[in-house]
A = this chain, B = another copy of it.
Amino acid sequence: MASQRGEGETTTTPAEPADRERARAIPEAAVARLAVYLRVLSGMADQGVTAVSSEELSQAAGVNAAKLRKDLSYIGSYGTRGVGYDVEVLVSHIERILGLTRNHSVAVVGIGNLGHALANYGGFPGRGFPVTALFDVDEDLVGIPVGGIPVSHIDDITAVCLEREVSIGVIATPPPAAQSVCDRLVSAGVQCILNFAPVVLQVPDNVEVRKVDLAVEMQILSFHVARRADEAASVSVGNNGLGVDGMVIRP
């Protein structure tokens, strides 16, 4: 039911494909950072930089240098001691680990405010994520091209997803429709879902979901201001108690 990480796997690693087997051991947090390193490295490559040290790269990526080296060590040892890393080499290794050696076709469902923005965004194709299908229930939208791609009707989702080999589904519908859309994507064989609707999606174990919840992001920020305000209050007022039943306000 629940987590099921390593499944059956009685096996230890076979000798040869150490490269990909290694992938399983990469911490989730490190994967997210590898994607950031990749972006930074790509930028450097574009500017003609050919080599980079862990110190430089870590600064550019906004992380600790030791952490960066450890992250890179998860994917192998491709640096040169005393020198640093070859940018090209690193880029290609990270791309391989992240599975970016092939394109991942993306479908956007719900062509409203957000869906339009996503469909019109030019940043995805260049990074290996071409948007190849758009879906909506609204008959008035069906057939109209957005960002160069005509909107399909949601009822055709299975056929279209299979035909265009969609591997990532993006949900940008209103919350009530999200679960149903998700189910449809799953039955169309989509195994990766990026969800913008503020809803907890229910999916089978073999489907990976990531959510982007802007309200939550803002609330986290809100928490930090509140905390900071309280700290300030504690310090300046001397914090002589009184906090009793809570509801302390701002300085």
A residues lining the B interface (CB < 8 Å): 2, 5-21, 23-26, 28, 31-32, 35-36, 38-40, 60-62, 64, 96-101, 104, 106, 113-114, 116-118, 120-121, 123-124, 127-129, 167-168, 191-194, 198, 200, 206, 208, 210, 212-231, 234-235, 239-251
Contacts and interface: CB of A to CB of B under 8 A. Distances in A.
| Stoichiometry (number of copies) | 2
Contacts of A231: 7, 24
Given A23-B230, A98-B219, A243-B19, A208 B225 contact: yes
Given A223-B23, A223-B98, A215 B5 contact: no
A6 B2 CA distance: 36
Given A234-B14, A241-B17, A246-B19, A210 B221 contact: yes
Contact of A248 (B17, B28, B35, B212): B17
A217 B243 CA distance: 41
15 contacts: A2-B64, A14-B239, A26-B223, A35-B216, A35-B219, A36-B213, A40-B200, A99-B223, A114-B117, A114-B121, A192-B221, A192-B222, A206-B228, A210-B220, A212-B214
Nearest to A210: B217
B241 A96 contact: no
Nearest to A215: B127
Closest 6 CB pairs of A and B: A12-B243, A17-B243, A99-B226, A6-B250, A192-B221, A113-B117
B222 A12 contact: no
Given A208-B224, A221-B194, A225-B104, A251 B12 contact: no
A239 B240 CA distance: 66
B21 A250 contact: no
B248 A12 contact: yes
Contact of A246 (B10, B12, B14, B192): B12
Contacts of A7: 231
A13 B194 contact: no
